[in-house]
Amino acid sequence: MNLQLRIAGAAGQGVETTGDLLVDAFAGIGLHVFATQTYMSRVRGGLNWFDVRIGDGELFSGRRRADLLVCLSKEGLEWLRGEMADPGVILFNGAAGEGVTGIEFEQIAKDLGGSAIMANTVAAGAVLAALGYEVGKLEELLRDRFARKGEEVVVANIACVRKGAELGTAAAGKLKAPQPAGAPSGICSGNEAVGLAAATAGVKFVTSYPMTPSTGVFTFVAGVADEYGILVEQAEDEIAAINMVCGAAYAGVPAMTTTSGGGFALMVEGLALAGMLELPAFIFLGQRPGPATGLPTRTAQQDLQFAIHAGHGEFAKAILAPGTPQQCYDLTRHGLELAHKYQTPVILMSDQFLADMRKNCTGLDTSYRPINRYVIEDAGESYLRYAVTDSGVSPRALPGGEAFVVLDSDEHTEDGHITEDLEARVRLQNKRLRKLDGMKAEALAPAWHGPPEADHVLVCWGSTYGSCREAVDRLNATGRPTAMLQFAQVWPLDAGAIRPRLGTRRVTCVEGNATGQFASVLREVGALSDCEMILKYDGLPFTGEEIAERVTS
């Protein structure tokens, strides 16, 4: 049992505020929530919407058609009324009409609260009442939220909620709403989870150039920087950011930068530097549709091949791709560990869909638990930064101690000094690349979901996880045995471990790009010979129902 709610309006009208308020209120009463945003690249005007799906069981994706639509603008009504489920409820900021309940959200807010800003509280009250929920939890949230601003503001907001609820009741009874199911009341987004994991894992330096959809991680870390002791600096460009990260990593602090496709492109030389200098650089890459500026505020999974092959020359790197906010948290920590254990760059790939994805979260650990940096403290005068070892990993000392720590982006000997000794070149290049063996051996195994005997398997990576999972559940419920294999680590891959999972099954790769990039990667490493593909690259995320439909059509 679930419903899809959509709040639409122009940028600046409080679409996100209304959505956030509802998400917190629903989670507060124990409903499962899955929320995501669709917005245009502008500060004012246009048409943005915030989707909230609520249910009595865990939710992993959204739905295309809305059961309830709140329109703060006329454009919202024009564009989105064709995307309604049947029966559907429309609450419109204006006059009532055919199939439309008119509630003057902004006028009521002005009358009761003295400001149009409170239109979002009126709307939230109306939505709850239209679905037959009590507004008590919402009032409690508003009291907490506005306590700092004084009793007057609290009272005005509550008056707005009650008026909204009174008018929203007119639309009640049309939709059957899910009953609270004891879901966790905490909510977190993909970007917040990455930021929190970085702060708790001991990242001490974060430097970025703002770029949608990665900026949320940057601002989250800035918000908790004083609490966790993090230096946050806005870089003049992405080239500076990655080079500052390399410098800080050399000096011994876990460091990170956040970016998206175009910014990542600028970082690529610095990425190779981290590979050559063997530095634990951690990069958060939030994808959006390209090429070039593309669709700045939409979603895509188009930069996988680019990320895998990013950097001139050959060097070891790992790429992780979480599918939920919880996985964002876990894999950020894991990625930082990996970067330090192997002294090489690690990229965490997200996208706009996952960045803005909000889901119930069961208490992410906020305590400071610094990861192991794998540094040595007893390096003496004969220390060699790039000592050749079987694993390829050389003992890492930090500058400032007894030993000189010498790094060079030129080819170098074991002591780190520049060389054109070509035998040394081969020895050192082999050493660096040997790290890939260890990284492959401990690569995260892909996760199976669905019946073990299913002869059709959907392969996905990154944010497509949730939609695929819902599709698999839908397909099995309709008597089509289907399973899925989710890759949370997309590079390097252990082909030997993947082949038996796919076997002779029918394989469909589901990806948010136009060319089937991960399918190519699987073929390249010899883990897959042939497959079908379900691809999407219109800037919007997959829904579970969409994947299920495309599998059966």
Task: Enumerate binding residues for other proteins (CB under 8 A).
Answer: 202, 204-205, 207, 225-226, 229-231, 233, 235-237, 239-241, 243-255, 269-270, 273, 277, 368, 370-375, 398-402, 404-410, 413, 415-421, 424
Give min distance, CB of 229 to other proteins, in A: 5
How near is the Cβ of 435 to other proteins at its closest, in Å? 20
CB of 266 to other proteins, least distance (A): 11
DSSP for 171-184 reads GTTSS-PPPP----
* Element of type H or E holding 71: strand 66-71
DSSP secondary structure, 2-58, as one string: EEEEEEEEEETSSHHHHHHHHHHHHHHTT-EEEEEEE--S-SSEEEEEEEEEEESS-
For residue 278, the minimal CB distance to other proteins (Å) is 12
Six token digits for residue 466? 């949730």
Q: To the nearest whole angstrom, how small is the minimum distance from the Cβ of residue 252 to other proteins? A: 4
123 versus 245: smaller Cβ distance to other proteins: 245
Toward other proteins, which CB reaches closer, 317 or 456?
Answer: 317
Residue 472's SS3 state is helix
Least distance (Å) from other proteins to the CB of residue 411? 10
Task: Name the minimum Å distance from CB 10 to other proteins.
Answer: 35
For residues 263 and 322, which CB has a smaller minimum distance to other proteins in the complex?
Answer: 263
**Alpha-carbon gap, residue 429 to 409, rounded angstroms:** 13
Q: Which residue has the tokens 């930082």?
A: 336
> How many CA atoms are closer than 13 Å to the CA of 498, on its beta-carbon side?
30
For other proteins, which is the closer residue by CB, 147 or 418? 418
Residue whose structure tokens are 């090489």? 344
Q: Closest distance between other proteins and the C-beta of residue 458, in Å?
A: 40
Residue number, 280 or 541, with CB nearest to other proteins: 280
Euclidean distance between CA atoms 337 and 322, whole angstroms: 16
The secondary structure of 310-362 as a DSSP string is -SSS----EEE--SSHHHHHHHHHHHHHHHHHHTS-EEEEEEHHHHH-EEE--
Handedness of CA 542, 547, 549, 551 (dihedral sign): positive
Tokens of 48: 């943005």
Shortest Cβ 446–other proteins spacing (Å): 30
Exposure b/e, 172-185, CB count within 10 A at least 16 = b = beebebbebeebeb
Closer of 1 and 231 to other proteins (Cβ) = 231
Which residue, 205 or 542, is less far from other proteins as judged by CB? 205
Cβ distance to other proteins smaller for residue 79 or 228: 228
Nearer to other proteins, 231 or 441 (CB): 231
As measured in angstroms, the least distance from the Cβ of 198 to other proteins is 13
User: Smallest distance, Å, CB 319 to other proteins?
Assistant: 22
Q: Which is nearer to other proteins, 180 or 247 (CB)?
A: 247
Angstrom distance (rounded) from CA 295 to CA 282? 25
In 504-549, DSSP assigns E strands to: 506-511, 532-535
> By C-beta, is 289 or 416 nearer to other proteins?
416
Q: How far is the CB of 322 from other proteins (least distance, A)?
A: 23
Tell me: cis bond preceding 87? Omega within 30 of 0 counts: yes
- Selection from 310, 314, 244, 315 nearest residue 281 by Cα: 244
Closest CA to 160 of 126, 134, 205: 126
Alpha carbons 303 and 308: distance in angstroms, whole number: 9
Return d(Cα 305, Cα 319) in angstroms, integer.
Answer: 11
For CA atoms 106, 107, 108, 113, the dihedral sign is positive
Instruction: Give dist(CA 403, CA 377) in Å, integer.
Output: 10
Give the torsion sign (CA, 156, 160, 166, 169): negative
Q: How far is the CB of 22 from other proteins (least distance, A)?
A: 36
Complex with other proteins: residue 141 or 267, whichever CB lies closer: 267
CB of 334 to other proteins, least distance (A): 16
Closer Cβ to other proteins, 58 or 415, answer by number:
415
Q: Write b or e for each residue in 235-250: b if 16 or more Cβ atoms lie within 10 A of its Cβ, otherwise e.
A: beebbbbbbbbbebbb
End-to-end CA distance of the chain: 25
Nearer to other proteins, 96 or 231 (CB): 231
Q: Which residues pair with 457 in a beta bridge?
A: 483, 507
